[in-house]
Amino acid sequence: MEAIGLRRFWLLATGFCALGTFVERAESAPCESWTFEGSRYVVCTVEPDKANLRLFWKNSVGEPYRSFSNLAEAVSAKGETLVFAMNAGMYSDAYAPIGLYIEDSQDLLPANTSDPKTSSGVIPNFYKKPNGVFFLDQDGGHILPTEKFLARRLNNRQKTPRFATQSGPMLVIGGKLHPALIKGSTDRTRRSGVGVCSAGRVRFAVSDDDVNFHDFARLFRDDLKCPNALFLDGGNGVGLYSPDLDRNDRSWHGGYGPMFALVDATGNEAKPRD
């Protein structure tokens, strides 16, 4: 993953706590540089009831956007502004989600409940059960293990969510770390994830340093105070668009699949350098 340009931000105030160090930024800027136990992250915070958080996959002619720049141009053409964006889970070589995907209350892909293994017997990250679904409905953001999400829909207790994406593994489940995460693991890479946290805030995190799953999950549980969190992607699949931080990442895979995006309908202009 290639970060384009230099990071640019204003330091307004710096706070410290036992588990993490954070840099407070302008109220209008959702993404901020963050440090937890010596590792660097970017954390983007959204209050779904007050902000236009959406999912995007294909453009008006049915082709995946693939890049944040393409998405920003499409949003701009409608008189809106892309405030920040990041990849919304693992995707195939065709830039398609590999699990459940709902956009604008339309089921575009079904849930993936298979149990594949590699030739060496290793279970790919997406399939490390429980994996989960992040979704937005009239009550805000939620993360549930896939089986619980499917049962919830089957019981017709809720209408179809506005947006939903499946990924895996779960990082934090009801305040507990996923049982497969290993403390001190040497499997370290850049990672991205999403958590539903205190006061219903949705917090996205991208690591700028290589971290293992256990430490990444603890960022959400212990520092960001998210009782439920979901892994999105790792390695070259991690990407972030944030004009405030001068970030417009590009994927070494030739593009991204589905993307989370915070959209400003007022059309306030903000673009990172290419």
Q: State pLDDT tens for residues 133-181.
A: 999 998 899 999 999 999 998 886 667 899 999 999 999 999 999 999 9
Domain that holds residue 252: 13-114+122-264
Residue 34 placed within a domain: yes
E-state strands within 47-201: 52-56, 81-87, 101-103, 106-109, 132-137, 140-145, 163-167, 170-173, 176-177, 191-196
Q: Are the C-beta atoms of 48 and 246 separated by less than 8 Å?
A: no
Whether pLDDT at 190 is above 80: yes
* pLDDT single digits (tens) 24-50: 433 458 999 999 999 999 999 999 888
Predicted pLDDT at 7:
31
In this prediction the pTM is 0.86
The better pLDDT of the pair 200, 253 is held by 200
Q: Determine whether 180 is exposed, middle or buried from the number of CB atoms within 10 Å of its CB (0-12, 13-18, 19+).
A: middle
Residue range 68-83: average pLDDT? 97
Confirm if 235 and 190 have CB atoms less than 8 A apart: yes
Q: How far is CA 245 from the centre of its chain?
A: 17
Query: How many domains does the chain contain in total?
Result: 1
The percentage of the chain sitting over the pLDDT mark of 70, rounded to a whole number, equals 86
| pLDDT given for residue 268 in this prediction | 60
Q: Can you tell me the distance from the alpha carbon of 10 to that of 26, in angstroms, rounded to the nearest whole number?
A: 8
- Element (H or E) spanning 36, and its range? strand 31-36
- On whether residue 213 sits in a domain, the answer given is yes
Side-chain-facing half-sphere of 107: CA atoms under 13 Å: 8
**Band of pLDDT at residue 267, cut at 50, 70 and 90:** low
Kindly give, in sequence order, each residue whose CB lies less than 8 Å from that of residue 27, ignoring residues fewer than 6 positions away: none
- Place 189 in a pLDDT band, splitting at 50, 70 and 90: very high
- What values do phi and psi take at 263, rounded to 5? -115, 135
- Tell me whether residue 4 is in a domain: no
CB-based contact 172:220 (threshold 8 Å): yes
Whether 251 maps to a domain, the answer reads: yes
Q: Indicate whether 108 belongs to any domain.
A: yes
Quote the tokens at residue 205.
Answer: 């995190």
Question: What is the residue-averaged pLDDT of the chain?
Answer: 87
Cα–Cα nearest to 181, from 226, 129, 234: 129
Mean pLDDT of 72-77: 97
Answer yes or no: is 7 within a domain.
no
Could you tell me the strand order of the sheet in which 106-109 lies?
106-109, 101-103, 163-167, 132-137, 140-145
Q: What share of the chain is helix, strand, coil (3-state, %, to 5)?
A: 15, 40, 45
- pLDDT of 194-250, one tens digit each? 999 999 999 999 999 999 999 999 999 999 999 999 999 999 889 999 999 999 999
The strand order across the sheet containing 52-56 reads: 52-56, 259-264, 81-87, 240-242, 247-248
pLDDT of residue 274: 54
216 falls within a domain: yes
Q: Which residue has better confidence, 105 or 268?
A: 105
| pLDDT(9) > 70 | no
State the pLDDT at residue 24: 40
- Confirm whether 160 is domain-assigned: yes
More confident residue, 245 or 272: 245
Residue 40: alpha-carbon gap to chain centroid:
16
